[in-house]
Structure 1
Amino acid sequence: MRTEVLSTRTRIGYGLGSVATGTFGTVPGLMLLPYLTDTLGVGAALAAVVVFAPKAWDVVLNPVAGRVTDRTVDPRGARRPWLLRAGLSMAACFALVFAGPDLGSTGLEVAWVLVAYVACATAYAFFQVPYVAMPAEITDSYDERTRLMTWRVAILALAIMASGASAPAVVNALEGRTGYRVMGLLVAVLLVVGVVGAYAGTRSAPVGRVGPGTGTLRDQLRVVAGARDFRLLLTTFVVQALAVGAMLAGVAYVARWVLVDRSAATLLFVCFVGPALLLTPAWAALGRRVGKRRGYELSSLVLALAALVLVGAGHVPVALVYAATALVGVGYAGVQVFPLAMLADAAAVDAARTGENRTGVYTGVWTAGETLGLALGPAVYAGVLALGGYVSTDQPADWMTQLQPGSAVTAITLGFSLLPAALVLLSLLPLRGYALDAATVVVSARPEDRRG
């Protein structure tokens, strides 16, 4: 391990990986559900299964990916080779998800999407897990990890805004399947930029020297599950990922059926993500003053209260809807910065105390949880649509003349506002027990405090 301040090149290089993680974490959640329901004509209930199943596979796969990368021996480091191998595969598979031909059968077209998405999710697991594992290994500084996460989240916000705003704009401009196919190719190019940027940019990053963990994967998972602070932090993060996933899935539906302006999806998304570009450093600075846990709690409350305001969408001025969405974005910036920095602390404390490297297993479990939450969000939102009687269509050009029952419009609104607000507030309960702070992390890193 190295304690010196990381170079700006390393911070930016590492942060570029967020172009890939942010894009892949955003665009499917934003575009896949409406692609299924409003272009392929898939019922909301079946669409929920298609959106969720590949990510459920990732939940099983991510800890395995962590174990594999923990034991990788390569002159470039254990993690970096996987960034390139898996990242380029992910980009190719993503383009295929939306490139399906007209097969004349909804069942065959759904199967195409499902198979391509499973392949894409598999590649993503072997990119994301080593990527998230790197901060705990390239520095053992409590504050340096927060600085590293600040760069990462700032670039993440930019990537999310660029991909999330442009994806619906491309689809709306070209209409139907052609729009989705072009969007898929453009997003694949963006993924390649992030993958290659992270691989090249971390070439000179320090590499941790903690030995790989002993025992089987099951043994190591048992140890990780017994880490109380990590477990509490993960629970909070997963529930919040579910909330964010539901909001992302609802953007296109709120624009179309509540604001009655399909182009509003791009503006809503910019309002959601834009504040993170400006406020990520401010949240990081606040965290240094009040602590990471307190900063995490405050940003979560901002997100939840702003989401509650959106319950009135459709009955209040449109400007207020955009303003409330921007306030959601203010909170979203914080709930990205703090948990990622806290994860690195938990993994590093374990490595310092035991002398064994379980960072990959920690991050594998973490990314599995994140994947589960982000997958459950759109699936739960689709379930809310189904309960509200949402009517699917395979004729996207007829959206102005198609009608939805009032119950479906209500479901669209509540799934976008009340549901995520309640989930974020609920997520704060386990966080109250989290106890790692700067003093704890520093003490745990001392040689005399390590266990052999």
Structure 2
Amino acid sequence: MTAAQRPLPRGVVARYAIGSIGTGGFATLPGLVLVYYLTDTLGVAALAAGAVVTAAKVWDVVIDPWIGDRSDRALARHGTRRTRMVVGAVTLPVFFALTFAVPPGIGPVASGVWVALAFLATATSFSLFQVPYIGLPAELTPGYDARTRLLTWRVVVLTIAILLFGAGGPEVREAFDDEHVGYLVMAIVAGVAIGLGMLVATTVAPRRAAAKQEADVSDVLDAPPAPDASPATPAPEVAADPGGGIRGAYRDGIAVLRRSRAFRVLLSVFVLQGLATGLMLAGAQFVATWVLHDRGAVTYLFVALIAPAVLCAPIWGVIARHIGKERGFGWASAIFAVAALALVGLAFAPGPWVYAPVALAGAAYAGMQSLPMAMLPDVISHDARVHGDERAGSFSGVWTAGETAGMALGATVLSIVLALTGYVESVAGQAVEQGPAAVLGIVLAFSVIPAALVAASLVGIRRYPLRRADIEPVSAVEGAVR
């Protein structure tokens, strides 16, 4: 094995992957319980609850390109993206706990405002970490397969985190007779775990000479050269003064969208799939409570979804090495769409059989996460090579904004479906019954609508233009084939 083919150090792969404890926790727990907390504990109307969650996510969409621009600027001036990542990791646990710390009895309107402001601050902290975190793989290694390995293990940790937070969070909540106390303890425990995971990941952010490229990433990490590196290809320059305030940040974001067709295609696919998975995530608790008639069944739904995902994430990595990331991504998406569509049977015969299609969806979900995440650094490095300047922060800012928008709109679509089908909200301790239309709406939001969204994304996957030969030199491709 040549020096150019030596893999990333295991410590770097592990520390980067641990960051997904934070991203998995924040993406999962609010999406799973926040709308339900608002409607069934605080008595907030369904549409208003959806608006609260959506407002924070829209704020993310607004600020993520700016944070990406600041990240590029920090790299140019100070040689690292780490500082803002640390700020986000330290502040998020505080704001996350405040989100679920609404005092009992203050009324639905005041409760909704409290949650909106606290969750807005939480989302801001998360973006400070997540935007530069998403852009790091393009800097950590130039190798096509090395990025697949890096992102595969990130998704393994991500799926474990989804399982722990998705199944464990409600269990912590249910350990207390008082719902308000249960939610608060859940938020404190989860917030600390999220923050610690993020802090570990900040340690892999490369340090290099400000506004220069003399320092190689592997030198910074005291590790052997990154795999499949091409000595003949000079590293793109980091613009010394990227952007120009928030207007410049949006200008740069629009610029990377315009100049990279591959990015436009990949982002549109990921947003559609984020909308589908966000809708199913927000609906899981409602399915458990009103379709399966067991609020605790949400834990089993998550185990059924995530256990196969943990096992299958490395398998999708192997598949990608043999047939390409884009083809593997297409297969994973198609399988997920079929599994989601099968869940429509809940409308006619709810029962334990539901865990089988959920498990199939989980196996496919691993590929739907790891492969596009491994394709994003390919897009970033290809763009840098073509245009001669590195805009990883701008790319990751737009990507995170799109991902956030997709997940947020999932909760919004659910709240609209609930409102249209006559869902009855309640406060803690109040017993209500849902009509047949509301139950059917929950099932459709958990099955047919997500399946249609993922099926539509397959059109975009077919249009993705990059292949292995576009990312690595011909010699590296031939070596990989052999």
Whole-angstrom distance in 1 between the partners of 2:343 and 2:105: 40
Shift of 1:99: 1.0
Aligned CA distance change for structure 1 residues 435 and 203 (closer, same or farther; 3 Å): closer
Whole-angstrom distance in 2 between the partners of 1:55 and 1:414: 24
Shift of 1:192: 2.0
Whole-angstrom distance in 2 between the partners of 1:300 and 1:294: 10
Cα RMSD after superposing both structures? 2.1
Cross-structure match for 1:273: 306
Shift of 1:77: 4.4
For residue 32 of structure 2, give the secondary structure of its aligned residue in structure 1. Answer: helix
Report whether the alignment pairs 1:212 with 2:245: no
**2:361 maps to which of 320, 324, 328:** 328
Whole-angstrom distance in 2 between the partners of 1:218 and 1:114: 25
Cross-structure match for 2:189: 186
For residue 371 of structure 1, give the secondary structure of its aligned residue in structure 2. Answer: helix
Unaligned runs of 5+ in 2: 208-216, 221-225, 227-234, 477-482
Task: Please list the CA deviations of residues 183-206 of structure 1 after superposition, one character each: whole Å capped at 9, or x if unmatched.
Answer: 110111111220222123557964
Cross-structure match for 2:32: 30
Whole-angstrom distance in 1 between the partners of 2:196 and 2:163: 15
Cross-structure match for 1:426: 456
Cross-structure match for 1:297: 330
Contact preservation (8 Å) 2:272, 2:457: yes
For residue 103 of structure 2, give the secondary structure of its aligned residue in structure 1. Answer: coil
Cross-structure match for 1:196: 199
* Correspondences of 1:332-343 after superposition (within 5 Å): 332-343=365-376
For residue 175 of structure 2, give the secondary structure of its aligned residue in structure 1. Answer: helix
Aligned CA distance change for structure 1 residues 210 and 49 (closer, same or farther; 3 Å): same
Contact preservation (8 Å) 1:295, 1:334: yes
Whole-angstrom distance in 1 between the partners of 2:460 and 2:475: 25
For residue 72 of structure 1, give the secondary structure of its aligned residue in structure 2. Answer: helix
For residue 89 of structure 1, give the secondary structure of its aligned residue in structure 2. Answer: helix
Cross-structure match for 1:139: 141
Contact preservation (8 Å) 1:71, 1:78: no
Contact preservation (8 Å) 1:299, 1:332: yes
Contact preservation (8 Å) 2:89, 2:198: yes
Letter in 2 for 1:360: G
Shift of 1:212: 2.5
Structure 1 stretch displaced more, 101-110 or 267-276:
101-110
Aligned CA distance change for structure 1 residues 421 and 408 (closer, same or farther; 3 Å): same
Shift of 1:228: 0.7
* Correspondences of 1:231-246 after superposition (within 5 Å): 231-246=264-279
Aligned CA distance change for structure 1 residues 73 and 243 (closer, same or farther; 3 Å): closer
Shift of 1:3: 7.0
For residue 439 of structure 2, give the secondary structure of its aligned residue in structure 1. Answer: helix
Aligned CA distance change for structure 1 residues 212 and 203 (closer, same or farther; 3 Å): closer
Letter in 2 for 1:280: A
Contact preservation (8 Å) 2:140, 2:206: no
Shift of 1:380: 0.5
Report whether the alignment pairs 1:359 with 2:395: no
Tell me how many residue pairs correspond in the alignment. Answer: 442
For residue 106 of structure 2, give the secondary structure of its aligned residue in structure 1. Answer: coil
Report whether the alignment pairs 1:440 with 2:470: yes
Whole-angstrom distance in 2 between the partners of 1:174 and 1:330: 33
Cross-structure match for 2:170: 168
Whole-angstrom distance in 2 between the partners of 1:203 and 1:235: 29
Shift of 1:74: 8.6
Contact preservation (8 Å) 2:75, 2:81: no
Whole-angstrom distance in 1 between the partners of 2:112 and 2:129: 26
Whole-angstrom distance in 2 between the partners of 1:328 and 1:72: 40
Letter in 2 for 1:33: V
Contact preservation (8 Å) 1:352, 1:444: no
Cross-structure match for 1:449: none
Structure 1 stretch displaced more, 364-373 or 95-104:
95-104
Whole-angstrom distance in 1 between the partners of 2:126 and 2:107: 29
Whole-angstrom distance in 1 between the partners of 2:273 and 2:281: 12
For residue 426 of structure 2, give the secondary structure of its aligned residue in structure 1. Answer: coil
| TM-score calculated relative to the size of structure 2 | 0.88
Aligned CA distance change for structure 1 residues 153 and 217 (closer, same or farther; 3 Å): same
Contact preservation (8 Å) 2:71, 2:81: yes
The share of aligned pairs that are identical, in percent, is: 43
For residue 419 of structure 1, give the secondary structure of its aligned residue in structure 2. Answer: helix
Aligned CA distance change for structure 1 residues 406 and 224 (closer, same or farther; 3 Å): same
Report whether the alignment pairs 1:409 with 2:400: no
Whole-angstrom distance in 1 between the partners of 2:270 and 2:303: 23
